[in-house]
Amino acid sequence: FVLISHAPDSDSWWNVIKNAIKVAGDQMDVSVEYRNPPTGDLADMARIVEQATASGPDGIIVTIADFDVLQGPITSAVDQGIPVITINSGTQEQSEALGALMHVGQPEYTAGFEAGKRAKAEAGVTSFLCVNHYITNPASVERCQGFADAIGADAAASMIDSGQDPAEIKNKVLAYLTANPDTGAVLTLGPTSAHPTLSALEEAGLSGEIYFGTFDLSGEIADAIKAGIIAFGIDQQPYLQGYMPVVILTNYARYGVLPSGHMNSGPGFVTKDNISLVEEYAGVYR
């Protein structure tokens, strides 16, 4: 099997998924290869899907980082009789349109909306900054849009294209918060944007003063949750996104059995109350 992600080499969040496919491969006694575009270039990713298809694997696991860019290569794999499971990015509807067996992931708009509801209930939040470090991926915008709709804010005006360079992210967050001092909350979309945002808030003297939620987990995010600086980490349980497709494809290849329907791996919320359970496995299984 081949798992193809959209993530650049620099994105450590994917280590959990790499670990998951190794565990699943060992348990199922199958080989699973991880491939990705080194810089996160989606045209490059499309080429990798084509190359994987040409190698004739027993199954392909792939993210729908951009439906339009990947539609051709993924449907081509399906047309050639290769079973495909989509994971992580994209929607269940897109997965079906591509002819995939199923989608394993987190409905992104719903996750953002639930996060916004939580922020509003806990802190009366009505304005926010969404630090978007991968704005070319439509799923990232859905996360910000969901949060904005839940608190009644304008998503476009609340979102910055931060890029992936830590120093740049930090400076852009500081600039936004200086220009918009009444901002009620900050939402980051993963460790790539959360870590520099933590140092930006510290520099601005806002650590623990401004409501801060993030998607995903890391050791640093876990520490900030315990310290009361980050209110929650949205856990889409990436381990399941790597592990389950390998198990499902193996059983499908061997016995022709398949679960009916898609699999929602998240959202779950990691807070101060349940962090101890999760922390032990952050970055490895969680």
Query: What CATH number did the domain enclosing 93 receive?
Result: 3.40.50.2300
Residues 91 and 152 in one domain: no
Residues 39 and 94 in one domain: yes
CA angle 274, 142, 6 (to 5 degrees): 85
Q: In this predicted structure, what is the pLDDT of residue 279?
A: 83
Q: In this predicted structure, what is the pLDDT of residue 235?
A: 93
Residues 16 and 101 in one domain: yes
Pairwise CA distance, residues 86 & 202, whole Å: 38
Pairing outcome for strands 102-105 and 128-132? unpaired
Containing structural domain, residue 23: 2-105+238-265
Residue 275 maps to a domain? no
Residue 270 maps to a domain? no
Residues 89 and 117 in one domain: no
14: DSSP letter: G
Residues 95 and 113 in one domain: no
Residues 117 and 207 in one domain: yes
On the 0-12 / 13-18 / 19+ scale of CB atoms within 10 A, 256 is exposed
Residues 128 and 228 in one domain: yes
Residues 229 and 122 in one domain: yes
Residue 21 maps to a domain? yes
Residues 118 and 218 in one domain: yes
Residue 274 maps to a domain? no
Domain total in the chain: 2
Mean pLDDT per 10-residue segment, the chain (286 residues): 97 95 99 98 98 99 97 99 97 97 96 98 98 92 98 98 98 98 98 98 97 95 97 96 99 98 94 91 86
Dump the DSSP string for 105-138. Answer: E--HHHHHHHHHHHHHHHH----EEEEES-TTSH
Whole-number Cα distances in Å, 230 to 54, 119, 214:
45, 11, 7
CA angle 156, 136, 134 (to 5 degrees): 85
Residue 64 maps to a domain? yes
Q: In this predicted structure, what is the pLDDT of residue 80?
A: 98
Q: In this predicted structure, what is the pLDDT of residue 139?
A: 86
Residue 280 maps to a domain? no
